[in-house]
A = this chain, B = another copy of it.
Amino acid sequence: MSVSLSGIYTPVVTPFTAAGDLDEDALRFNAERYLQSRLTGLVVLGSNGEAPQLDQDEADRAIAAVRSVVPRGRPLLAGTGQESTRATIAASRRAAELGVDAVLVRTPAFYKGQMTTEAFVRHYTAVAEASPVPVFLYNVTMYTGVNLTPDAVALLSEHPNIVGMKESSTDIVQFAEHLSRAREGFVLLTGSAPIFYSAMALGASGAVLAIGGVVPDLCVALAEAMRNGRYDEARALQRRLSPIARLVGSAHGVPGLKAALDLAGYRGGVPRSPLVPVPLAVVDVIRTELAKLGVLSPDAASRPASAAAR
Q: Which residues of A contact B (CB under 8 A)?
A: 20, 47, 52-55, 83-87, 108, 110-116, 118-120, 122-123, 126, 142-143, 145, 170-173, 176-177, 180, 194-195, 197-198, 201-203, 229, 231, 235, 238-239, 242, 250-255, 272-276
A54: chain B residues at CB < 8 Å are: 84
Taking CB as reference atom, which chain B residue is nearest A173?
B194
A250: chain B residues at CB < 8 Å are: 113
Determine the distance from Cα of A201 to Cα of B231 in the docked complex, in whole angstroms. Answer: 8
A272: chain B residues at CB < 8 Å are: 84-86
A57 to chain B, nearest CB (A): 11
Determine the distance from Cα of A229 to Cα of B113 in the docked complex, in whole angstroms. Answer: 36
Contact of A254 among B20, B83, B111, B254 (CB under 8 A): B111
Determine the distance from Cα of A52 to Cα of B84 in the docked complex, in whole angstroms. Answer: 8
Are A195's CB and B172's CB within 8 A? yes
Chain B CB within 10 Å, residue with most, of A108, A114, A122, A252: A114
Are A110's CB and B198's CB within 8 A? no
A-B contact pairs, 27 of them (CB 8 A): A53-B84, A53-B110, A54-B84, A55-B87, A84-B272, A85-B272, A108-B274, A110-B143, A111-B143, A111-B253, A111-B275, A112-B143, A114-B276, A115-B274, A119-B275, A122-B274, A123-B274, A176-B194, A176-B198, A176-B242, A177-B242, A180-B242, A198-B201, A201-B235, A202-B235, A203-B235, A231-B231
A176: chain B residues at CB < 8 Å are: 194, 198, 238, 242
